[in-house]
Structure 1
Amino acid sequence: MSTPEESRTRRPTALEIATQWAQLPPDHLRVALEHLELELQREHARDTARERHQAGLDADRMRQEHMTERARIEAQDRSDQRAHQLYLGGLVAGFVLAAGMLAGSVIVGLDGRQWLAGLLAGPSLVALPVVFVLRRNDRLGTRARIPAPPAPGGLPPDRRPSDQQPADQPA
């Protein structure tokens, strides 16, 4: 059972209305049921309109997500296509560079300049195309050496003048 405050603040259900009218004579009950039927039709119409509205919102959200996903996929495809063209260009440039260096090495070698032919056909024939084809130059031999941190005296020990002693050693 509900308290009087709750019954004033909430709407009575159809069953509660019908129970109240059931205590009246049959003519009044018929009128009450007709009104009850109209109220139920209105509630049904409101519920259906609310469901249609929610379905429309859900469809709009799904359509927007679909458009966003399609735009993301198209952007990824364009990015992949640019990367492919870049790597293909590097492959062609590496081949042309290697073939040109090899041909130049043969021509210069036949001309009598073996040292220049050796430079063209030597390590640079491998190193330069690797830069173009693989797009990297991080081989151990080409990495920059990290200098040692300076000693407390200012200069590293191997670069100190012979007359300057570290501060912690007596002269």
Structure 2
Amino acid sequence: MTGSVEKQPPEDLMVSAGLEIAARWGEAVGPEKLKIALQALEPQLKREHEARMRRMDDLRAREERRASADDVEAKRSAALEKMKAELALRESDRRRTHVYRMSGMIAGVVLSLALLGAAVAVAPTQPWLASALSGPSLIALAKIFVLRRDDQPHDPPPHRRIHPDLAQNPTSTSSDEMPT
């Protein structure tokens, strides 16, 4: 019998060991006394079982809390990484915009100084050319390069455009839409 007991899984080992002990007690004390002993032992076994089940439930709940805390932490770290990436993107956009604006301003200043220098250079011999170089062309260059303004009409921004279907007159109907 010991050869067959060793080949059984551990759970079956416990059951078979318990049955073996119960069989020995039954032979030693008799079936009536064994029945009374087992009935007295049953409430204790139920309490132990309930305590074991509570411990297992507590362990399961603790694992669930740990798993949910890990999920929350993972979401928090993902959100933090996303915010860092957005911040880096905004910072690079700010830097690019700053470089773009400064290069335009520098170009406008250089062109304005070149026009003023040319106007001063030709002023003694050709006053009309000097006034043309230092007049409207200088103001237009300064306005475009330095102030970033252009007085030409532009299309409205995309969020202000009217959809072509809505821009049509709603009272006009085509002949194929009219009921017959």
Please, what TM-score do these two structures have when normalized by structure 2?
A: 0.61
Alignment partner, residue 135 of structure 2: 122
Shift, 1:124, TM fit:
1.5
Residue correspondences, number: 116
Task: Give the Cα–Cα distance (whole angstroms) in 2 for the partners of residues 26 and 49 of structure 1.
Answer: 36
1:27 to 32, 36, 41: 41
Task: Give the Cα–Cα distance (whole angstroms) in 1 for the partners of residues 84 and 40 of structure 2.
Answer: 65
Task: Give the Cα–Cα distance (whole angstroms) in 2 for the partners of residues 63 and 131 of structure 1.
Answer: 45
Alignment partner, residue 93 of structure 1: 107
Task: Give the Cα–Cα distance (whole angstroms) in 1 for the partners of residues 43 and 95 of structure 2.
Answer: 76
Shift, 1:27, TM fit:
3.3
Alignment partner, residue 7 of structure 1: none
Task: Give the Cα–Cα distance (whole angstroms) in 2 for the partners of residues 26 and 127 of structure 1.
Answer: 107
> Would you say 1:64 and 2:82 are equivalent positions?
no
1:78-99 superposed Cα distances (whole Å, 9 cap, x missing partner): 0000000011111111111111
1:111-137 superposed Cα distances (whole Å, 9 cap, x missing partner): x11111110011211111110012221
> Would you say 1:133 and 2:150 are equivalent positions?
no
Unpaired stretches in structure 1, ≥5 consecutive residues = 1-24, 145-171
Q: Superposition RMSD on alpha carbons, in Å?
A: 1.6
Equivalences for 1:142-161 in 2 at 5 Å? none
Task: Give the Cα–Cα distance (whole angstroms) in 2 for the partners of residues 109 and 33 of structure 1.
Answer: 111
Task: Give the Cα–Cα distance (whole angstroms) in 1 for the partners of residues 55 and 153 of structure 2.
Answer: 81
Give the helix-richer structure, 1 or 2: 2
**Moved beyond 2 Å, runs of 4+:** 25-28
Task: Give the Cα–Cα distance (whole angstroms) in 2 for the partners of residues 26 and 37 of structure 1.
Answer: 18
Secondary structure of the structure 2 residue equivalent to 1:135 = coil
Unpaired stretches in structure 2, ≥5 consecutive residues = 1-38, 155-180
Shift, 1:68, TM fit:
0.7
Task: Flag the structure with larger Rg.
Answer: 2
Distance change (3 Å), C-alpha of 1:143 and 1:109: farther
